[in-house]
Amino acid sequence: MIGKSRHPNTRQGGLDSPLDRGAFGQGCGVLNHSPSPGTYQHTRHAPPSELIKWVEHFWLERWDLRGRSGQTREVLPHPSVHLVFAPGRSKIYGVQLRRFTRELKGQECILGIKFRPGAFYPFFGKPVSTIANSAVIAEHVFPDAASAEQRVLACVDDDAMVGAAAQFLIAHLPASDPNVEISCRIVEAIANDCAVTRVEHLTARFGLPERKLQRLFHRYIGASPSWVIKRYRVYDVLTQLDAGEPITGATFAQNMGYFDQAHLYNDFRKIIGCSPGQYLEAK
């Protein structure tokens, strides 16, 4: 399902395949990837058993655009923190609260670790909201990240790269924190149940006062409960659009937590940057 990222298998795409357009279904929140001559590959790999409670998946990107124009990749991110190993610039990316655009150039291979929403705080030791919409050098959290970057990127195949990254993270596992699993469960409930449209739905389901829920999200998730709810409901709307299903009518809007269709469309424009009709025309 588009926008839902708990997938058991990896997505394999040949390195010599053309760049994808309409790649939102990869589960990484891609809204658009501009088409142009060149090759691009995005694969995902399940974590080993030691990391299942901490990591959503590992992902690798490869592209070869030598002698060609750069590629624009527009993303509507999930509420996850990523540790990304890239040559000379490995970083930890906090939750990105707005859609953002990346430009790919030249030839490169990078590896990322997507943490489960709520699972990065014990590694970081600070409220995850403090790095929202930003990134920090990986060594600020993992002092030996530079040597790990060299080991990971020197590997000759995907499995070896994932294995090296996994062993690095296993060596840095923090103490168990019960709030991690609670946070993960709450976000997964939002992602998997389109009936969750208001913060009070969460307080009732999990028996948490709203202020405690807000503090939990500030510290562990990096975004507010209302933001996370709205983000996943927008993913649901995008799923409907990509499937060719109608999103018109007051009933659909109310099922998404909106008073009427006009309010839903207004939020869609703010978040996606265009109307639903314009989104479909651009695909």
% of residues, the chain, pLDDT over 70: 87
What's the whole-model pTM score? 0.86
Q: Determine how many CB atoms are found less than 10 A away from the CB of residue 87.
A: 11
Q: Are residues 96 and 76 in the same domain?
A: yes
- Classify residue 9: in a domain, yes or no: no
- Classify residue 11: in a domain, yes or no: no
Q: Are 112 and 58 in contact (CB under 8 A)?
A: yes
Confidence band, pLDDT 50/70/90 cuts, at residue 32? low
Q: Are residues 46 and 138 in the same domain?
A: yes
Q: Are residues 30 and 149 in the same domain?
A: yes
Confidence band, pLDDT 50/70/90 cuts, at residue 36? low
Q: Are residues 264 and 156 in the same domain?
A: no
Residue of 50, 8, 4, 46 whose CA lies nearest to 29: 4
Q: Are residues 163 and 275 in the same domain?
A: no
DSSP 99-157: -EEEEE-SEEEEEEEEEPTT-SHHHH-S-GGGGTT-EEEGGGT-TTHHHHHHHHHT-SS
Confidence band, pLDDT 50/70/90 cuts, at residue 72? confident
Domain that holds residue 76: 23-170
How many residues in total does the chain contain? Answer: 283
Residue 250 has pLDDT above 90, yes or no: no
Give per-residue pLDDT as tens, 131-153: 999 999 999 999 999 999 999 99
CATH of the domain at 242: 1.10.10.60
Strand partners, 55: 115
